[in-house]
Chain A
Amino acid sequence: MAVSVESRNLVSAPDGGSREELVVNVGPSHPSTHGVGRVIVHLDGDIVVKAEPVIGYLHRGIEKMAENRTYLQVVPLTDRLDYVGSMYANWAYCRAVERLAGIAVPERAEYLRVIVCELQRIASHMMGIGASAADTGAFTFFIYAFDQRERIIELFERLCGARLTYNYVRPGGVSFDAPQGWTQDVLAFTKAFRAAAADLDRLFFGNVIARGRMKGIGVLSADDAVAWGASGPTARASGVNWDLRKHDPYSVYPRMDFDVVVGERGDAYDRGRCRLLECVESCRIIDQAISQMHPGPVRTEGLPRLLQPRPGEAYDHIESARGSLGVYLVSDGSVRPYRMHVRSPAFCNLALLPLLAEGHTLSDLVVVLGSLDPVFGEVDR
């Protein structure tokens, strides 16, 4: 991880002479690395010749920690993977546990999971495109996006008492049922959000400067997206029609009518706009889920205090805001997981940075990085 950085490198140029490369060390404490990412950038003039991400600054060894905890105690850990969208890791982990232990989930719990995860998708994308816009200097857009995110977080707080690390989705269901009037407020939110999304679209994605900054920047071809294991909006913006909610439908998603937002060019602009338009699709899903939901239990009754699945292994994945988030669990029949591995979409997407940033300027580097929407809690685990 640690790399000593000479600030100036003398490199022999292809024409036989030599040119001076400026090495800029972006991060790990830098405003636009979205946490504690670090990129070692080799600049030739203002052009990036090599961008090498250095990660691990937020490595907490969650996979190792999970081996020392009971199945339930791991849930708070998964909150801290993707701290912008804790619900996803909660859910992916719980799905794996449920598969491993053969736990059925009440229908209402599945609907609540879908609702919170779609809300979480909006919240996460608001963070993603907001921060990405702030990287280009549009700070007010960031605030507007965060305003929407804040509304969702307030809804979450009412739901489960936490604003960031929800610990909401649990093996066998969810921790709390929706409080009185919550679903109405969610519907009111989706209604208001559609109007706000149109504003956000015009304010930033219609803006001439923003288009100039993002169009044609960090173009990812569809083939590369597949080969490099990109997923989520990052892959879809390149025209890869791949959404687990449609293509490996889980939970109650098969009952939902929604579109997959797919881009054409795979540049930073497409990735950002894909996220914004996905939020509107999420609103559709939420509205449908609320209309389909019936009262009932939200957690499987009578689960034992300590889950003790039989030996075996299970993998389950969900479509998180960043892509397909998978959890691979191995049980040896004890009360603790033998091994837990998180297939982190942010990790796989971030690996694309050297490919995408090369040949652009330093200013574009932050745009490319922002458009990949990395969350370092999940990258580093």
Chain B
Amino acid sequence: MAVTRQQDKATVPDRTPTSVRLAISATDDFSPGLKGFAERVRSLVVGLGITARRSVSRPVTLKYPAEKVELSPRWRGALRLTGVLGREDVALIEGPASDYNGLIDDLYRHDRLPPCVGNCPANVDARGQSFLLADDRAAEAYELVRARNILPGVLGRICHHPCESACKRTYYDEPIAIRPLHRVAFERYAEHRAERVAPLPVTREERIAIIGSGPSGLAAAFDLMHAGFEVHVYEKEHAAGGALLSGVPAYRLPRDVLATEIADLQTMGMKLLTGVRIGTDVPIDHLIGEYDAVLIAAGLQVSRMLPVPGSDAQGIWGALDFLKAGNWKGGCGVKGRRVLVIGGGNVAVDCARVALRCGAAQVTLSSLESMDELPAHPWEIEEALDEGVIAMCSYGPKEVLVENGRVAGMRLQSCLSVFDAQGRFAPVFAEEFTDVPADVIVFAIGQAPQLAELVSGSDLVLTERGLLPVDGALMTTQVPGVFACGEVVTGPGSAIASVASGHEAATSIIRYLDGRSLSEGRVYRPVPVYPRYQPATLTGVEPARRRTVMPMAKGADRARDFRQVELGFTHLEGLAEAARCLRCASEVCVGCTFCARTCPDYAITVERIDDPGHRSVTRYDLDLSKCCFCGLCAEQCPTGALRHTGQYELSFYHRDFAVFDRHEMVRSPEGSRATGADCRGCGDAR
């Protein structure tokens, strides 16, 4: 506050406190003598005139009931509770991929989109997942998640979980562990896989070719198969997975998880053609002629290198090549050597951690940004530091020190600031240099597509920078029937964003093959903005309310090989974590008790059964005689189940103890309790 006050002083000319009005003075007195007598009589007459005038004006009160009382649009009456967990289920967000955006948009417009779903690029129904998992319906949960993120087991390990950053529970205590719950669902799905994964019926004649089997390609394939098309996926490597396979280290994503989920897709009917390099093995024109639609989901294949002196020396690696080598060959010649990784992103951190696992003697991560500004996810950085990666922040690469054609080290220059006042990239360097000895230098400063070979011989034309011009919303290229998605379109990004673009491409292809306009009537994914809450204070939070901690392998142990770092939840932990979900915006009371906790007057009591695997509200007591109508409870309610009714007067006539216990809560539709939970036709505020 002190801050704003000073601003006021600085920016606004202060009006001097001298403008004083002497309002009352002796002139208010009546004059002496006869004149005063006249003034006195006049004052009486004036008064009578005012009252007379008012008496013929229209009354300000209403003739009830002839004149209806118009209540203000925003008014606070008694509380009402709409749904109750145990009686009503949380609605799942499900729909065909081509209409899914419309569904999300509608929910968002009606304020019923939970933040986790809204913040996910692919709008995975995390709320529904938690609901089903807490109900021990893991198979359904898995399939619900798979409908949108295609590879729950994979993304359950590697996703950067924007859902969790938006989780409303952050505001109350800690976010729900949504990503680990994907993994739980995946692991529990193993027992159902045989019976539940079946070939999808092919109902359409058209065939579609997808180039690339990365997340976006697979997502598009999944949607198209569900729409009844025959899908052929071309992959230049000998195994499917794209960047998931070559770019993601195995300690984060075990190979068998990826293989299982791709195998599921194949069981559903996806035809996978590995080892086919489009452009060289098969010209793309051939595909365009052969198939009714072609989707380019080739991703980014080459690492960008820095044009610093000496960058052609032996021992310089691009990040992708390094990761590929590390992942597949289990070593890239760094055993016992010193590795310097240039870059501050997630790929750089991956490179550093892979280098450690390949036996590097010392791994240094050098970034231009300071520790706080690093673009990599903070948990990744933390894990890397745990494992022994040395971070050198705020250094820019100046020159590679070369000895005999081999890398000997790197000269780094101190960086004062990376971004200017407007937030643009404009690094400012100090004249300070540091030499870091290194045997291997990995540039992890970005990736670029390599499409020239792919598109050769077709009508597709690349831009000067080697990019494929694509309409970012419709995923179309210059050639009708050829679409593109994934990082080719979006640039370097997250796996879940690639999946999202795959869904968009699939929608476009379906519309294209249906002969409909691609854009007409199409709903684009809403981009909701949710408040970023400061982390809640955790003092006094009961252990049962806390987030389940992901068990991790010990830092020193795990850095030696490619075993998984995150060990996963047990069955019970998974159930308990899923039960923590507040089921935001569902309008079903889940007994989170935050209304009772925030009530200043102890007017609310919530009782619930909260065992892992079983969760329901058993009793909701609202003592209206204590309620002070402050509205804090309704404001706190994450689900929107508790809110104020419109019946302001009723709230006073019925200030009694309203108990909703489980049997009573199931009321007849025409019920008219004081709280008006089911009252119709009285102009409810909503």
Contacts and interface: CB of A to CB of B under 8 A. Distances in A.
Interface string B11-43: 010110101111111101110000000011101
A255 B8 contact: yes
Interface in B354-387: none
A64 B110 CA distance: 42
Interface string A153-174: 0100111111001010000000
B17 A161 contact: no
Contacts of B629: 162, 165
Nearest to A273: B24
B54 interface: yes
Interface string A240-283: 01010011011110111111111111000110011001000100
B197 interface: no
Given A203-B47, A264-B25, A302-B531, A95 B1 contact: yes
A187 to B, nearest CB: 18
A58 interface: no
B421 interface: no
Contacts of B600: 69, 73-74, 76-77
B543 interface: no
A259 B30 contact: no
B644 interface: yes
Interface string B487-513: 000000000000000000000000000
A99 interface: yes
A209 B46 CA distance: 13
B631 interface: yes
A199 interface: yes
7 nearest interchain CB pairs? A161-B76, A76-B630, A246-B17, A73-B600, A259-B21, A208-B40, A158-B72
A144 interface: yes
Contacts of B20: 241, 259-260, 262
B172 interface: yes
Nearest to A150: B60
A227 B629 CA distance: 40
A254 B23 contact: no
A355 interface: no
A310 interface: no
20 contacts: A76-B630, A99-B2, A102-B2, A165-B630, A167-B630, A176-B74, A203-B46, A208-B41, A215-B28, A246-B15, A246-B17, A254-B9, A254-B12, A260-B19, A263-B22, A263-B23, A273-B24, A277-B24, A302-B532, A305-B172
Interface residues of A, number: 81
B422 interface: no
B2 A304 contact: no
B47 A72 contact: no
A269 B40 CA distance: 16
Contacts of B1: 95, 98-99, 102-105, 316
B23 A274 contact: yes
Given A72-B632, A103-B1, A202-B47, A157 B19 contact: no
A163 B47 CA distance: 31
Interface in A283-337: 301-306, 308, 316, 334-335
A95 B650 CA distance: 34
Contacts of A110: 4
Contacts of B630: 75-76, 79, 165, 167
Given A260-B17, A262-B20, A303-B534, A76 B4 contact: no
Contacts of A260: 17, 19-21
Given A77-B600, A165-B628, A157 B8 contact: no
Contacts of A8: none
A150 to B, nearest CB: 8
Nearest to B53: A199
Contacts of B631: 161-162, 167, 175
Contacts of A207: 43-44, 47
A262 B4 contact: no
A257 B50 contact: no
Given A105-B4, A199-B50, A277-B23, A208 B74 contact: no
B8 A72 contact: no
B171 interface: yes
A217 B34 CA distance: 25
Interface string B62-102: 00000000001111100000000000000000000000000
A326 to B, nearest CB: 14
B23 A273 contact: yes
A61 interface: no
A237 interface: yes
A264 B534 contact: no
Contacts of B12: 254-255
A301 B531 contact: yes
Interface string A65-108: 00001101111110100000000000000010011001111000
A211 B30 contact: yes
B536 interface: yes
Contacts of B171: 304-305
Interface string A182-208: 000000000000000001001111111
B30 A208 contact: yes
A238 to B, nearest CB: 11
B657 interface: no
A179 interface: yes
A252 to B, nearest CB: 7
A165 to B, nearest CB: 7
A363 interface: no
Contacts of A252: 8
Contacts of B22: 262-264
Interface in A220-248: 237, 241, 243, 246-247
B203 interface: no
A301 B74 contact: no
Contacts of B9: 254
Interface string B597-623: 010100000000000000000000000
Contacts of B15: 246, 254, 256-257
A147 interface: yes
A280 to B, nearest CB: 10
B97 to A, nearest CB: 33
Contacts of B635: 175
B5 interface: yes
B556 interface: no
Nearest to A239: B22
Contact of A301 (B3, B54, B532, B644): B532
Contact of B21 (A74, A76, A140, A277): A277
**Which of B1, B2, B46, B50 has the most A CB atoms < 10 Å from its CB?**
B1
B24 A304 contact: no
B533 interface: yes
Interface in A17-74: 69-70, 72-74
B570 interface: no
A194 to B, nearest CB: 15
B623 to A, nearest CB: 16
B24 A305 contact: no
B537 interface: yes
Nearest to A73: B600
B534 A160 contact: no
A105 B1 CA distance: 7
Given A264-B25, A302-B534, 15 more contacts: A140-B51, A157-B72, A165-B628, A202-B46, A205-B28, A206-B43, A208-B40, A208-B41, A211-B29, A254-B9, A261-B23, A264-B24, A281-B21, A304-B533, A304-B534
Contacts of A204: 47
A203 B73 contact: no
Contacts of A208: 30, 39-41, 43-44
B61 to A, nearest CB: 10
Contacts of A175: 631, 635
A269 B25 CA distance: 11
B539 interface: yes
Given A77-B600, A167-B631, A265-B24, A304 B535 contact: yes
A144 B54 contact: yes
